Amino acid sequence: MIPPLVRYLNRVNFRTTKPLLQVGERTMALEITDANFEQEVLQSDKPVLVDFWAAWCGPCLAIAPMIDELATEMEGTAKVGKVDIDNNPTVAVNYGIRAIPTLLIFNNGEVAEQLVGGTVRKGDLADKLNNLAGVTA
């Protein structure tokens, strides 16, 4: 069985896809910080996917378009946000982040799932968020 990330990388033509995010560029995903983490994530009444990333991390930038698409598609059902670990170290320390990207899915203020390196496809992430939100296909 081909692992999900390999399937994803194989689908992407890296020579023709749109340029990766640049430092400081705004994304569709919610910007989560040390300051708003409590309110936006822990107190959220919807499931929240948090992507821990850094500007100078190649694999983080490679999955960024997928995370942005997911943020748009899940609007109203779940939140999708990003934590820039260089600017928000407290959250990263609190959740034991090491390799990036690390994706954490929160539900009712608790970590429901941890995925390191963008291991699942957008559809799998959407399924997990829909399940936690109680949305049936």
Partner 1 sequence: MMRQDPSEKAMNRMEKFVDAYCNKSGTFKHPNPDVTEAVVKGLAHHVDTLGRPLCPCRFYPDKEEEIKHRTWICACDDMQIYKYCHCLLFVNEEGLPITEYLPEDHEGRVMHGLVKDSVPDKGRPLRDKAEEREVERRERPS
Is 38 an active-site residue?
no
Residue 90, token pair as written in the block: 């407290």
The least distance separating partner 1 from the CB of residue 64, rounded to whole angstroms, comes to 10
Lookup: tokens for 79: 């939140």
**Distance from C-alpha of 111 to C-alpha of 75, rounded to nearest angstrom:** 20
Q: Name the residue nearer to partner 1 (CB basis): 26 or 98.
A: 98
Tokens linked to 54: 């850094």
The Cβ of residue 113 has, within 10 Å, a number of other Cβ atoms equal to 16
Q: How many residues bind partner 1 (CB under 8 A)?
A: 37
By the criterion CB under 8 A, which residues form the site for partner 1?
A: 1-3, 5-6, 9-10, 14-15, 17, 19-20, 23-24, 52, 54-62, 85-87, 89, 92-93, 97-100, 116-117, 119
